[in-house]
Amino acid sequence: MSYGSCLDCERQRISISWCKNCDIAFFKENFRNWTSGSTIIDEFIRHTQLNANKSTDYLEWIDYDQFDLVKNINKGGAFSSIYSAVWLKGPIWKLD
């Protein structure tokens, strides 16, 4: 199945709206713009981004200020906190 060529590098896309070469380069350029405060979590998110084969294969970093209606829904958990929220912007569907 053909997904057309990337508008930037002209390589063949391997998924709808996904150019592995350009989109992973975009993530790399933005690594310095975010951190969770945990090296382990940051490395895990970056690993998923660097090894993605399509636009749904990676984790996306979301700043806290992009959420609304944040509420703690934890029901008596002793070792964790669970929250519910609405992501205002939504996921990246297309990086072009």
Helix or strand (DSSP H, E) at 78: none
| Residue 96 maps to a domain | no
**What are 40-88's pLDDT values in tens digits?**
999 999 999 999 988 888 998 888 888 999 998 887 777 888 889 998 8
Measured between alpha carbons, how far is 22 from 7 in angstroms, rounded to an integer? 10
Query: Does any domain span residue 94?
Result: no
In a domain, 73, yes or no: yes
Q: What is the domain extent for residue 31? A: 4-87
Q: Give a yes or no: residue 95 inside a domain.
A: no
What is the pTM (predicted TM-score) of this model? 0.74
Higher-pLDDT residue of 31, 79 = 31
Q: ∠ CA(32), CA(57), CA(1), 5° rounding?
A: 125
14 is a domain residue: yes
Residues 55, 56, 60, 66: is their CA dihedral positive or negative? positive
Number of domains, the chain: 1
Would 79 be classed as within a structural domain? yes
- Residue 93, domain member (yes or no): no
> Do the domain assignments include residue 92?
no
